[in-house]
A and B are shown apart, each in its own frame.
Chain A
Amino acid sequence: MHIVVCIKQVPDSAQIRVHPVTNTIMRQGVPTIINPYDLFSLEEALRLRDQLGGKVTVITMGPKMAIEALKKCISYGADDAILLTDKVFAGSDTLATSFALASTIAKIGETTPVDMVFCGKQTIDGDTAQVGPGIARRLHMQQLTYVAQVEKVDLDKGEIVVHRRSEGGVQVLATKLPCLVTMLEGSNVMRYGSMDDLFRAARYEVAEWDHKAAGITVTAQCGLKGSPTVVKKVFAPPARAVKAEMIKTEGKTPREVADALLTSVFAKHPKLEMEIGQ
């Protein structure tokens, strides 16, 4: 079983703050992390490999510093890692990104055929959830998004059964391999890598591929050229004019604080009092 996992190195958006006075974002010192949604997919891929044998190859498209994120994946137990890095990919939107990644996966598959591709449900920086479906379409793979559970994989028959989250319930879907899966958050817990993998990661040399290595001969679909969307304006969200009314807590019991809060809230928003408990 050969599984390719696509990851992305992203700034930790939980730590990005907007400067209260200048209303610009403060990115200094914000650490980069592996997109948290990717970890649920990586863990599921590792579990399937442990169960069924085979290997997990992790890929990402990005600058050289993304090697760090790929090495982290090796330390979790991934077998191989490839960084797709080339200036022709600069400025890629989701359509161009899915082209580059799909080409890379097709190239990887020439050596060892790919049975499954895992992607994060979405990223926490771009947040589009478009790249996974894009790769699936391009590689003519069945697309299984928002998977809560991989029920079974039958390699001999080339079949997979998953539970997919949909509105108001769960669809139990059966389909054929190869397929592309995006896992739902909370569907598993990322393992702690073994000491062996940790050492392996420290020594591991991440392969760096340019567009040629990925088998792309015509670059018209890459980067800015291959991106239908054009970003025309980037701006900070407007600041809130009114600050919170703080309820005093000094020398008060929690119950007194609660009563003081309700009195203030209902005094300013009398209609709300009739809404509660309905």
Chain B
Amino acid sequence: MSAEDQDQEQTPVAAAPRRGDGADLSVYHGVWVFVELERGKVHPVSWELLGEGRKLATHLGVPLSGVVLGPDQPATQEACDHAFEYGADSVYLMRGPVLTDYRTDPYTAGLTDLVNTFKPEIMLLGASTLGRDLAGALATTLATGLTADCTELRIDDETRSLAATRPTFGGSLLCTIHTLEYRPQMATVRPRVMAMPDRVPGKRGQIIEHQPKMPEEDVITKILSFIPDSDAEKAQLAYADIVVAGGRGLGKPENFKLVQDLAAVLGGDYGGSRPVTHAGWISADRQIGQTGKTIRPKLYIAAGISGAIQHRVGVEGADVIIAINSDPNAPIFDFATFGIVGDALQILPALTEALQERLAARKAAQ
């Protein structure tokens, strides 16, 4: 293969036009939100994005659309209905057996086709495991700009472009990124970063249906089975009202039980810092922070977590943060609401005990 051919080969075939090539970018019109439907359920981040997309669409004076890909089943229709209720003016729908479960190729091909046919100027996706897998593949296929994990989205009036702000260097800095010469402008947002919009029950709009073109025989990756998480493993961390988390300061994995005990008494969920998830003390989907989950609980208790910036980014949305750390200079005390300088191994069980007694007293009084 010659070098020329090779360059050709690296160039995606479905690349969208760009201004530098003399293309008219103004034909790209409207704000799209990818509605993440998996095994009959829509990830709530899609509704959070419709809320954010509404603001952008209103500012631009363009329609807001949901994009639903899925099997030919009632849940897919339901996802469309809900998209209208959370704010979409219209829904682009693509359904078929090839889209029954998420796989990179048919979803990327389907979305690429929709984008190149209907030409949205902005495309938002959730930064979930599915959304990140898909967004990276789609942006490369379209050869356009993609900004990951945005914490703020607005329209720059001067250029009419999307100003996407995101944390970088583990959250030590924020940067605002634009895609000026290419369309669509793509961005992902992590679950829980944006607020959930109000739902308007019964609101409906136009559905524009488009057929998937990729036949099943062209899909190389096959799903052999799906192993659902047991209830005990199911981390609803991002959406929990109360979260207790532990870090390296707990010393060893066995001590994590103290965190779980406190979480159980509080009726909350538990998680951990990056070092303890990397060390395998708890499962990867329980990691809290910039590289893990963003949480916005009413109460967050961090035990033995120093509070590096990358952790802070993931928990700043909490209403109340209680920090327990033996190091009085730990950065966690810079953003906690309440702090205790002390040994988490002693404070955690004491706190569990004190709460148990308060709860028993409350029950007795009722």
Contacts and interface: CB of A to CB of B under 8 A. Distances in A.
Contacts of B224: 161, 172-174
A229 B148 contact: no
Nearest to A218: B7
Nearest to A151: B224
A231 B177 contact: yes
Contact of A233 (B171, B175, B284): B175
A189 B298 contact: no
A194 interface: no
A228 B229 contact: no
B59 interface: no
Contacts of A176: 220
A257 B148 contact: no
B137 A133 contact: yes
B350 A258 contact: yes
A144 B104 CA distance: 8
B308 A128 contact: no
A31 B354 CA distance: 42
A229 B179 contact: yes
Given A106-B6, A175-B222, A167 B130 contact: yes
Interface residues of B, number: 116
Nearest to B224: A172
Contacts of A95: 139-140, 143-146
30 contacts: A13-B172, A14-B170, A15-B308, A25-B169, A95-B140, A102-B10, A125-B170, A130-B135, A130-B146, A133-B140, A134-B139, A148-B284, A165-B284, A166-B38, A168-B228, A173-B221, A173-B222, A185-B284, A186-B279, A189-B280, A217-B3, A228-B144, A228-B145, A233-B175, A236-B173, A237-B172, A243-B333, A244-B339, A262-B351, A272-B320
Interface stretch (B67-75, B77-85, B285-293): B285-293
A152 to B, nearest CB: 11
Contacts of A142: 104-105, 220-221
A229 B10 contact: no
A153 interface: no
Contacts of A7: none
Contacts of B355: 262, 276-277
Q: A-side binding surface: helix, strand, loop or mixed?
A: mixed
A201 B341 CA distance: 44
B299 interface: yes
Contacts of A148: 284
Interface string A251-271: 001110111011011000100
A93, A125, A148, A230: most-surrounded residue (chain B CB, <10 A) = A230
Interface string B140-164: 1101111111000000000000010
Interface residues of A, number: 103
A188 B78 CA distance: 40
Interface string B280-311: 10011101001100000011000000001110
A216 B266 contact: no
Contacts of A127: 148-149, 167-168, 170, 290-291
A169 interface: yes
Interface residues of B, dominant DSSP: mixed
B97 interface: no
A124 B341 contact: no
Interface in A21-36: 25, 36
A203 interface: no
A11 B343 CA distance: 30
B222 A265 contact: no
Given A25-B172, A37-B291, 16 more contacts: A14-B170, A17-B331, A95-B144, A106-B9, A127-B291, A143-B133, A144-B221, A145-B129, A185-B287, A186-B279, A187-B284, A217-B3, A235-B173, A236-B174, A272-B299, A277-B265
A246 B38 CA distance: 45
Interface string A136-170: 11111011111010000000000001010111111
A51 interface: no
B101 interface: yes
B169 A13 contact: yes
Nearest to A176: B220
Contacts of B266: 276-277
B291 to A, nearest CB: 6
A261 B12 contact: no
Contacts of A276: 242, 265-267, 299, 355, 359
A184 B236 CA distance: 19
Contact of B172 (A18, A110, A233): A18
A169 B228 contact: yes
Contact of B354 (A16, A122, A168, A255): A255
Contacts of B167: 127, 237
B148 to A, nearest CB: 4
